[in-house]
Amino acid sequence: MRRPDLRRAERDLATATARIGVARADLFPRFSISGSFGRLSEDAGDLGSATSQFWAIVPGVRWPILSGGRIRANIRVQTARQEQMLLTYEQSVLSALEEVENALSAHTRERRRRESLGASVIANRRAVELATERYVSGLESFLSVLDARRSLYAAEDRMVQSETTVVASPIAVYKALGGGWDPDAPTSATTPVDSSYDSASPPPS
């Protein structure tokens, strides 16, 4: 995932963990070595000679042994903060996984619903054809044709709404993942909407 909230939580956890190491380092002595080099002579003419050279090395140690209580208290504080950051990070990961799972499930459900609606549109078109044939044959009134067309238009309307949702649902998945998701091109189980039937006029008798 490339979610900004997870990256921020991860950085906060890493920073809190590093501060524990810094706090613990104060328990141990710190050694240092300093040195100096120069020339010293009572006669200015001897400054260029090797006998006028001198050097010195001074070792040093720093150990705040009297501050042990304060250092250990600081370690406990930093450890508590690190545990809090760890809990925040775990909660962020769980929340992100839940959002991704919900978005993927919604996308999959809508694609299946679109396929089902596609089959419904095809069935309703066939119903319109049969109702028209029975009307032409005098077996049905024109009211049955109108009812069949009304059902077809309702199915087509639901189909269009589902198509819109299917197109938009990958955006939720992309957002939940923080980007970097390239979904497969959706395959539609429907056929193009056929508007050859005009409800404004009845079929020829």
Nearest Cα neighbor of 190 from 155, 165, 151 is 155
Q: What are phi and psi of 31, to 5 degrees?
A: -100, 145
The C-alpha angle 187, 191, 197, rounded to 5 degrees, equals 160
CA distance 53 to 73: 49
pLDDT band at 199, cuts 50/70/90?
very low
**What torsion, rounded to 10 degrees, do the Cα atoms 45, 47, 50, 52 define?**
110
DSSP state of 197: -
- Considering only residues 150 and 24, tell me which one the structure prediction assigns the higher pLDDT: 150
Mean pLDDT of the chain: 76
- Considering only residues 160 and 204, tell me which one the structure prediction assigns the higher pLDDT: 160
The C-alpha angle 26, 29, 33, rounded to 5 degrees, equals 125
CA distance 159 to 43: 105
Q: What are phi and psi of 28, to 5 degrees?
A: -105, 150
- Considering only residues 134 and 58, tell me which one the structure prediction assigns the higher pLDDT: 134
Both structure tokens of 67: 């501050």
Sign of CA dihedral 159, 160, 161, 163: positive
Q: Percent of the chain at pLDDT above 70? A: 66
- Considering only residues 173 and 204, tell me which one the structure prediction assigns the higher pLDDT: 173
| Coil, strand or helix at 156 | helix
Given its phi and psi angles, is residue 179 left (phi above 0), alpha (psi -120 to 50 degrees) or beta?
left
pLDDT number for residue 64:
65
CA distance 203 to 205: 6
